[in-house]
Copies of this chain bind each other. A is one copy, B any other.
Amino acid sequence: MATTFPDRQRTLGSLLRLPYQAMQDTVYGALAERGFDDIRAAHSAVFRHIDADGTRLTVLAERAGMTKQSMAYLVDALSQAGYLATTPDPHDGRARRVRLTRRGEQAMTALLELSADFEQRLAARLGVARMKRLRTLLEELATVVEPVRAADTP
């Protein structure tokens, strides 16, 4: 018999991870089926943070909370796959602006659609009202997370 640890209740972490993982798997799986099979979850760090009129590599890295080398790696892959184009920054000879190509925009649209889809399917089972409350609570949680995190090392 599996003697489970007695006091082991689900941590908040696992409650957050479960739906997050499921969503990732489903959304990126579906994205691949739609023909965007060279986009992986890690690449979302770019899509999430890029502006409509282009963004510098360093800014992308900052926003994503990673090193510029790591961001460069992601941008490189997406560029080679045709989702991004980089142009030199007219105001700064060192910098390059990273922009979405048309195909990049299509990918991002698909990504947002599929995410909304997944959420809607969850809402259909959970109840729309509940999903709305959940969303609201998560948004409130977001505003509260950073202070707690910062208070970590006083």
**Is A88 part of the contact surface with B, judged by Cβ < 8 Å?**
no
> Which residues of B have CB within 8 Å of A22?
145-146, 148-149
Q: Is the Cβ of A142 less than 8 Å from the Cβ of B55?
A: no
Whole-angstrom CA separation of A121 from B29 in the bound complex = 36
- State the copy count for this chain: 2
A72, chain B: closest CB distance, angstroms: 20
Within 8 A of B (CB), among A132-154: 133-135, 137-142, 144-149, 151-152
Choose one: B4, B55, B144; the contact of A122 (CB below 8 Å).
Answer: B144
A84 CB to nearest chain B CB (Å): 15
A102 close to B (CB within 8 Å) = no
* A126 to B145 alpha-carbon distance, docked (Å): 9
Query: Contact partner of A51 among B3, B30, B122, B142, CB < 8 A?
Result: B3
A137 & B139 in contact (Cβ 8 Å cutoff): no
Q: A70 in the interface, Cβ–Cβ < 8 Å?
A: no
Given contacts A12-B119, A51-B4, contact A18 B152 (CB under 8 A): no
Q: Which residues of A contact B (CB under 8 A)?
A: 2-5, 7-8, 10-20, 22-27, 29-30, 48, 51-53, 55, 108, 112, 115-116, 118-119, 121-122, 125-126, 130, 133-135, 137-142, 144-149, 151-152
Closest 8 CB pairs of A and B: A15-B138, A16-B20, A11-B115, A125-B144, A134-B137, A3-B52, A12-B119, A3-B53
